[in-house]
Structure 1
Amino acid sequence: MTSASSAEPPAFAVGVTQRVQIDPRHGERRDALDQRWHPFLAACGIVGVPLPNDPALALKSVRALGLRGILLTGGNDLAVLGGDAPERDATEAALLELAVRGLPVLGVCRGLQMILAHFDAVPTPVAGHVAVRHPLVFQGQSRTVNSYHGYGAAAAMVAMATAGALEVTAAVDGTVEAVRHRSLPIAGLMWHPEREAPFDPLDIEFFKNFFGATP
């Protein structure tokens, strides 16, 4: 029998949104998540809880499970950009509203694009940002990040569209690579931390600090 003093602390759980995969052969719309997210989040001291692409059910899961934050992951173009997963957009829009109540919401790649669209800075096609790496200064640290996005936004446009509500980090070409809301617990990264091998300690530190998963 495990004593109370040696018992593990409660899991720090964060809700994770999923891409929609359409399987016409079986007539199914499937929610799916890159397996690499789970070990990355575990390295951050976080348990990732996949959420369904249904606004009401996703919100119910957040409440019932006492989730400590929301991660909006990559995959699928936004519906406003011609994507075929409007249920995902509706789900993530509902989850973003939880930030008003203090729940941290972090977007990665498409997740950042969702944040931009939510604040009326709809992304547009960008060139030179798919399957490349580029230098970046993020939180005072010089580093190189991966890039897999065909849509983005110019930092100047985002500043104008959001009336300065989003603090922006841009690549050398002026394209937004990261944002942080100045008054709400909302942030976004355009690169994929889960795709780095090994995982970058700077990304792990950022996730821990943003979600408050530090001991």
Structure 2
Amino acid sequence: MIYSNDPSQIKPEFDVELLYNKAVVRAQVGVPVNGATRHIDFQKNYSQMILVTKPSNTSCVHFIDQDLPAISWFDTSMVYQVADYSDLNNILTNQENRVPPSKIFGSEPEHGWCYYYQKISLARQLADWQQIVQLAEKAEQIGLKPDDPVEWLPVIEGYVMTGNKEAAAQISNNIRISQDYKVPICLSLDAHSSDLETIDNYDLAGMIEVLCTARGD
């Protein structure tokens, strides 16, 4: 842990908590909880929660979006219980990037699939569908693809929203091949339809057509 010698000067802007039974209940209730760690006072505001998961060793870090919770088969049942409370609007997208000191955190890792996936996820939050397609195509050109099928979802969205349903349908086979992925995503598209329709240029009908309409499954 890295922190000031004077705990009284530390005012954390956010707090991190592992997902466990009590945290699930607090997230569902959405009430603030006050506490202290190593004499550092904090307040956990569960009404402004962001759910972050890394479902498996080969999965990327996932920031769960309550508008369309893309939950991995490798995630725990508790993720399902709190996914609808994870508000990505709490992530500030107009801030300058801060590079942590390499002396402490080490050098930037090699740019694998997860490097592109994180950028794709950010572009999705900004509804920058063309940027998603460009990033996905660049990753494909250098032979990168996800090990966790749910990470194809924002790529499929990118192609659908830019009018390339043929490419979206081809990629969607990576999700449609398993009912464990297809069914939850299709249920989410239906359950969160009113939220998704508020996103700029979101083609909900196109997503349902590509992912959920029978094609001889």
Same fold (TM over 0.5): no
Bigger-Rg structure (1/2) = 2
Instruction: Give 1 or 2: higher strand fraction.
Output: 1
Q: Greater relative contact order: 1 or 2 (C-alpha under 8 angstroms, separation 6 or more)?
A: 1
Instruction: Give 1 or 2: higher helix fraction.
Output: 2
